[in-house]
Amino acid sequence: MLFNDLRKGLTVTIKYLFTHAVTCQYPDERLDVPERGRWLHALTTFDETDAVRCIDCGLCEQVCPSKCIKITPKENEDHTKNPVEYELDLGRCLFCGLCVEVCPELAIEMTDKYELADYDREKFVYTKEQLINNGKTEEG
C-alpha cells in the first residue's frame, strides 16, 4: 500500500519534472487577460473631436449598486448635456459592469488595466480627466 502510494507520487513528480514551468514571472511577464474582463473604468471620447461621449443621462449613476458614480451635469447652449465632472470611486466599485451595460452611448467601458492597488483610499476616486486617460493606450 505504502509502496503503491509512493510509486504514484513519484510518477507524477517525474512526469512534471521535464515539462515547462507554468509560473508567470510577474511583473516581467504578464498573462493575457480575458477579452471580456472587467477592470479599470474609462470614459470614451469621439475620435474626431476628443469630446466625451457621455450625454449625462444619469443611468450609470442610478444603476450602480454601490453608488460610487457621481456626475455633475452641464447643459450646453443647444440643450445637449455633458458632465462637467464625472467621479468614480473605485474603492467602492464591485466591478459588476452594470454601468457599462446600461450606457446608451457606449460612453463608459472597462479596460484590461488590472494593476489598481494603492495605499491611499483617496487615490481610488477617479476624476473625469483620469477616466478619459484610462481609455488611452500607452502610445497615446
Residues that bind ligand SF4 (CB under 6 A): 54-60, 63-66, 68-69, 71, 88, 93-99, 102-103, 105, 107-108
Return the SS3 of 43. Answer: strand
First vs last Cα of the chain: how many Å apart? 64
Q: Which three cell numbers stand for residue 98?
A: 452594470
CB of 48 to ligand SF4, least distance (A): 18
Closer to ligand SF4 by Cβ: residue 24 or 106: 106
CB of 119 to ligand SF4, least distance (A): 21
CB of 33 to ligand SF4, least distance (A): 16
Q: Report how far residue 112's alpha carbon sits from residue 12's, in angstroms, rounded to the nearest whole number.
A: 36
Closer to ligand SF4 by Cβ: residue 85 or 115: 85
Closer to ligand SF4 by Cβ: residue 14 or 60: 60
Is residue 108 within 8 Å of 99, Cβ to Cβ? yes
CB of 56 to ligand SF4, least distance (A): 5
Closer to ligand SF4 by Cβ: residue 11 or 62: 62
φ and ψ of 9, to 5 deg: -60, -45
Segments in the chain forming alpha helices (H): 2-17, 59-63, 98-102, 128-134
